[in-house]
Amino acid sequence: MFILAIIFIAAMQQTGTYQPVGTVSQLMIDIIYPTSDDLFYIERNPPSNEHEWGLIERSALTLAESGNLLMMPGRARDQGDWIKDSKMLVDAGTAAFKAAKAKDMNAILALNDQLVASCTTCHMQYRQNYRRRPQQ
Ligand code: HEC
């Protein structure tokens, strides 16, 4: 009984700290998809001044941190591969953030494969019917 109470209180504290607002699907559509596109297609409209580089930097930072949002209690589907896959996104996003700060477009393009791998690794494991939809 005592042990159960401790577990219960620990669980309450863990979920009580965070207040997830969007679903995983909403994070994908409103945060992860648009910000990753800014990096995947950076060549279409190459940043040419401080302001435009600032926007790329913002997208990369948002994308990197979105990996942390996926790991939050209440969102993480498990403590194994889900966490590993989310960390892949944090790592790729962090590298892109550094490249954006250095205004290095080639470095961002070179990260595309790593970034796509972070999406597809998780989608193959956790996104239902993923194989039947067009690749993303
Ligand atoms: C840690 C796991 C994980 C990572 C990393 C991840 N996704 Fe997802 N994604 C999912 C899951 C799970 C779904 C299905 C969500 C649902 O239907 O509830 C999904 C769905 C989506 C959808 C469809 C959303 C909808 O409901 O129509 C898009 C678009 C998407 N992801 C884009 C991306 C992109 C782009 C990346 C990489 C930059 C990425 N995702 C990385 C887990 C992940």
Q: What is the pLDDT of residues 43-80, one digit of tens each?
A: 999 999 999 999 999 999 999 999 999 999 999 999 99
- From 111, 114, 127, the mutation candidate for ligand 1 (largest count of ligand atoms within 8 A of CB) is 127
Average pLDDT, the chain: 90
Tokens of 38: 């800014």
Q: Whose CA is nearest to atom 18 of ligand 1?
A: 25
Domain positions in the chain:
23-126
> What's the predicted TM-score (pTM) here?
0.89
pLDDT band at 17 (very low <50, low <70, confident <90, very high): confident
Instruction: Please report the pLDDT score of residue 3 as a whole number.
Output: 57
Question: In this structure, which CATH number among 1.10.8, 1.20.120, 1.10.10, 2.60.120 belongs to the domain 23-126?
Answer: 1.20.120
How close is the Cα of 127 to the center of ligand 1, in Å?
Answer: 7
| Residues framing ligand 1 (Cβ under 6 A) | 24-25, 28-29, 32-33, 36, 70, 82, 85-86, 89, 115, 118-119, 122-123, 126-127, 136
Question: Burial, 52: exposed, middle or buried (Cβ in 10 Å; 0-12, 13-18, 19+)?
Answer: middle
Question: Burial, 1: exposed, middle or buried (Cβ in 10 Å; 0-12, 13-18, 19+)?
Answer: exposed
Q: Whose CA is nearest to atom 6 of ligand 1?
A: 119
Tokens of 29: 């559509």
Q: Report d(CA 71, CA 77) in Å as an integer.
A: 8
Sign for the CA dihedral angle at 37, 111, 63, 45 comes to negative
Name the residue among 132, 108, 135 with its Cα closest to residue 40: 108
Question: Burial, 38: exposed, middle or buried (Cβ in 10 Å; 0-12, 13-18, 19+)?
Answer: buried
Instruction: Please report the pLDDT score of residue 10 as a whole number.
Output: 56
Q: Report d(CA 87, CA 81) in Å as an integer.
A: 10
Instruction: Please report the pLDDT score of residue 5 as a whole number.
Output: 57
How close is the Cα of 82 to the center of ligand 1, in Å?
Answer: 12
